Amino acid sequence: MSKISHVEKAIAYIFLIVVGVLLASPFLYMISIALASDETTVKSAFTFVPAEFEWSNFVTIFSNNNLGLYLKNSLIITVITIIGSVLSASVVSYGFARIKAKGSKILFVVLLSTMMIPGEVTMVPQFIIFRNLGWVNTFYPLIVPSFFAGAFNVFLIRQFVMGIPKSLDEAAMIDGMGHPGIYWKIIMPLTYPILAAIAIFSFSWNWGNFMGPLIYINDPEKMPLALGVQLLTTVGGGQMPPWNLVMVASLFLTIPMVLVYLFGQRFVYEANISGGSSGIK
């Protein structure tokens, strides 16, 4: 925007600071609860700005509450699903973007239309399938589906590949390269930015995913962090949950998301723009 008067500038800063404080204060409260002592926690006498600094909470949560195990489970599930979703969507999108074959157009329409089906429709039958395979209380129901190329990811990469000049492929074909070579050596390396975005999407979806683990995992030893945090709050016998420790665990759940956003926002931004605007048109 062009010139901004001093009054407008002042109004803008007041607005940004007021809204900024409103949006930042829950974070501060989260830290304050995480650092509260057990006595304060029992009384629920938390303060807005941290008044106590019970750093030992960050040790207790590992020694008494399995946090290390939850983190490990989350990490395993997330890393494997990222690999699965990026790799499968990348391969499939090459097929849709670059190989002409009978039925390819119809299948692409089918792929797009699957995006309209809410997960709730397939949730119950999938549960029954995985249950019959004996996969309840294993990571398989959470990781195996990622290897079958998500429709949205395929769509995003395909759009990106369509923008790569076909002359590259043709030159390679003249040199005697087949589709696997062209995909692996020429196209795939050029799609790294969009693959990075998909890795980030996949990370944020799986790291925070609550419903999937809730359906499939009952064994606390197998729980990822998102479910493990919630388990901490379900204490029996009319007792109060250890809220300070719950918030420490919540911080461990939140911080990786923040870091990934800070370091990956560039990729996400570009994918958002291309995905968002192509969704509009």
Partner 1 sequence: MGKREGKWFYLFISPWLIGFIGLTLGPILFSIYMSFTDWDLFQSPHFIGFGNYKTLLTDDPLFWKSVGNTFFYALISIPVGMAISLWIAYYLNKKLKGITFFRILFYLPSVVPVVASSLLFIHLLAPTEGLINKGLAIFGIHGPAWLLDPHWVKPALIVMSLWGVGGGVVLLLAGMKGVPQELYEAAAIDGARSTQSFFHITFPMLTPVIFFNLVTGIIGALQTFAQVFITTAGGPDNSSQMVVPYLFQNAFQFYKMGYASSIAWVLFIMIMALTLLVFRSSALWVHYEEGKANE
Q: Which is nearer to partner 1, 165 or 262 (CB)?
A: 262
Q: Examine residue 61 and tell whether it contacts partner 1 (CB under 8 A).
A: no
Interface residue with partner 1 among 106, 109, 128, 174 (CB under 8 A) is 128
Q: Which is nearer to partner 1, 168 or 258 (CB)?
A: 258
C-alpha span between 28 and 50 (Å, rounded): 8
Smallest distance from the beta carbon of 134 to partner 1, in angstroms? 15
Give the total of residues touching partner 1 (CB under 8 A): 93
Smallest distance from the beta carbon of 229 to partner 1, in angstroms? 6
Q: Examine residue 212 and tell whether it contacts partner 1 (CB under 8 A).
A: no
Q: Examine residue 91 and tell whether it contacts partner 1 (CB under 8 A).
A: yes
CA of 38: how far to CAs of 229, 232, 249, 273, in Å? 18, 15, 15, 46
Q: Which is nearer to partner 1, 29 or 58 (CB)?
A: 29
C-alpha span between 56 and 65 (Å, rounded): 13
Q: Which is nearer to partner 1, 60 or 204 (CB)?
A: 204
Interface residue with partner 1 among 35, 57, 70, 145 (CB under 8 A) is 145
From the number of C-beta atoms within 10 Å of its C-beta (0-12, 13-18, 19+), residue 144 rates as middle
C-alpha span between 37 and 5 (Å, rounded): 49
Name residues contacting partner 1, limited to 157-176 (CB under 8 A): none
Q: Examine residue 104 and tell whether it contacts partner 1 (CB under 8 A).
A: yes
* Angle, helices 243-280/6-34, rounded to nearest 10 degrees: 140
Q: Examine residue 215 and tell whether it contacts partner 1 (CB under 8 A).
A: yes
Name residues contacting partner 1, limited to 239-268 (CB under 8 A): 243, 246-247, 250-251, 253-254, 257-258, 260-262
Interface residue with partner 1 among 59, 110, 133, 162 (CB under 8 A) is 110
From the number of C-beta atoms within 10 Å of its C-beta (0-12, 13-18, 19+), residue 37 rates as middle
Residue type, 25: S
Q: Which is nearer to partner 1, 60 or 179 (CB)?
A: 179
- Are the CB atoms for 268 and 197 separated by under 8 Å? yes
Candidate segments 64-72, 166-174, 184-192, 223-231, binder of partner 1 by CB under 8 A: 223-231
Q: Examine residue 76 and tell whether it contacts partner 1 (CB under 8 A).
A: no
Smallest distance from the beta carbon of 165 to partner 1, in angstroms? 19
C-alpha span between 145 and 80 (Å, rounded): 11
CA of 232: how far to CAs of 56, 206, 227, 229, 242, in Å? 17, 20, 9, 5, 7
From the number of C-beta atoms within 10 Å of its C-beta (0-12, 13-18, 19+), residue 208 rates as middle
- Which token pair is 78? 């997330």
Q: Examine residue 230 and tell whether it contacts partner 1 (CB under 8 A).
A: yes
Name residues contacting partner 1, limited to 16-35 (CB under 8 A): 16, 19-20, 23-27, 29-30, 33
